[in-house]
Amino acid sequence: DTAVSQTPKYLVTQMGNDKSIKCEQNLGHDTMYWYKQDSKKFLKIMFSYNNKELIINETVPNRFSPKSPDKAHLNLHINSLELGDSAVYFCASSPGEGPNTGELFFGEGSRLTVL
Amino acid sequence: KQEVTQIPAALSVPEGENLVLNCSFTDSAIYNLQWFRQDPGKGLTSLLLIQSSQREQTSGRLNASLDKSSGRSTLYIAASQPGDSATYLCAVRLIYSGGSNYKLTFGKGTLLTVNP
């Protein structure tokens, strides 16, 4: 199926650990994103990549490091996890041209719990 | 800085009723506006995308309108069904300005409950 897929769906880990979340899209989109949804369900952008280049870095701590090996993948690595990092992280992608330019398609989310 | 507000925060209606969800934004220089639904524990599903040159979009029982000058959009749901129960989110993308074009600003959503 064509989609934005991210793994793992659930991640429970101890404070101080390092973890990664992977994202892949097979929609042929040029732009990929990471969003964070906090406990109050508010969605906020973290990063955006266009054709593997970083476009947006929204004052995210440098413990968060995105990596885009190609335009179909955008992974998120988090170092030294803190309690406040607990949230649902959503990957998304959007086309860069055509009638639906800018329309976002989201993955199912990765729920991170830091103990 | 773009701010997006959704009213009401929660809405409960009986099945079959027509309803309107509201979204307002402070910066009218938008590229497009997108409505999503989010079911509990799930990702966001795109419902309708309205480009800045359009005034409305329709999909089945859903109709979204856009009035850039007043900074408002509405999502109209006709003949609501229990399966429509979800959180509805509005998101706005600014016209390109550095990296702004790549960023959607989300409202906090309206939690809709349709009672059988």
Give A47-96 pLDDT, tens digit per residue.
Answer: 888 888 887 777 788 999 999 999 899 999 999 999 999 999 999 998 87
Contacts of B44 in chain A (CB under 8 A): 43, 90, 92, 104, 106
| pLDDT at A13 > cutoff 90 | yes
The confidence score (pLDDT) of residue A1 equals: 65
Of all residues in chain B, the percent with pLDDT exceeding 90 is: 75
The confidence score (pLDDT) of residue A95 equals: 86
Residue of A nearest to B110 (CA): A41
The confidence score (pLDDT) of residue B31 equals: 85
Residue A104 touches chain B, beta carbons under 8 Å: yes
End-to-end CA distance of chain A: 35
The confidence score (pLDDT) of residue B34 equals: 95
Determine the residue type at A57: N
Contact between B52 and B31 under an 8 Å Cβ cutoff? The reply is: yes
Residue A42 touches chain B, beta carbons under 8 Å: yes
Give Cα A111 distance to the centre of its chain. Answer: 11
Q: What is the pLDDT of residues B95-104, one digit of tens each?
A: 765 555 567 8
The confidence score (pLDDT) of residue A99 equals: 62
Q: Residue ranges of the alpha helices (H) in chain A?
A: none
Residue A33 touches chain B, beta carbons under 8 Å: yes
Residue A27 touches chain B, beta carbons under 8 Å: no
Beta strand A64-70 with A53-57 is unpaired
- What is the number of H-type helices and E-type strands within chain B? 0, 11
Contacts of A104 in chain B (CB under 8 A): 34, 36, 44, 46, 91, 104
Q: What is the pLDDT of residues B43-87, one digit of tens each?
A: 899 999 998 899 999 999 999 999 999 999 999 999 999 999 999
Interface of A with B in 55-94 (CB under 8 A): 55-56, 58, 90, 92
Average pLDDT value over all residues in chain B: 91
Beta strand A19-25 with A10-13 is unpaired
| pLDDT at B33 > cutoff 60 | yes
